[in-house]
Homo-oligomer: A and B are copies of this chain.
């Protein structure tokens, strides 16, 4: 994007960002601006955040719907966190047995190959590899708890 957007350039991201901030600040659910062939239309609270020119990419709305009670505005640290999600439905175990040490604990540095937990499904104990590198920041599920597909299990800080 060039340095000095023309006044008519509705795709000035800064401007759109300010519009969105304005919407959030005032808890607006929709904003719709149109000028000749130009139009900016923003809705909040549910589904659509869209605007009608193939300019800067906006995050997929589905993600917002997906976690309705999602976190408040994430901090910069939060933003870089990686999350290991469950690849299946089953029961979460942090160790290979009741007397064994957990695969990982908060503070551990891990690599992609590292087994971080077991998800048991249909009597099969599936070892779940980290898939990412970094430091374990949090284990999000209790031992023995049921987990669904895609459920966040472990939070990893890749930059720590």
| Inter-subunit contact B16/A19 (CB<8 Å) | yes
Chain B residues with CB under 8 Å of A28's CB are 20, 42-44
Q: How far is the CA of A150 from the CA of B30 in the complex (A)?
A: 35
A7 (CB) vs chain B CBs: closest residue: B9
A19 to B20, CA, bound (A): 11
Interface string of A28-69 (1 = CB under 8 A from B): 111111111111111111100000000000000000000000
* Oligomer: number of copies: 2
When distances are taken between beta carbons in the complex, the residues of chain B under 8 Å from A13 are 15, 18-19, 22
Contacts of A7 in B (CB 8 A): 5-6, 9, 11
Min CB distance A152 to B, Å, is 31
Tell me if B11 and A30 are in contact (CB < 8 A).
no
Please judge, given known A-B contacts A9-B7, A15-B13, whether A41 and B35 are in contact too, CB under 8 Å. no
Additional 6 contacts, C-beta under 8 A, given A17-B22, A28-B44: A5-B7, A8-B9, A11-B15, A16-B33, A29-B43, A29-B44
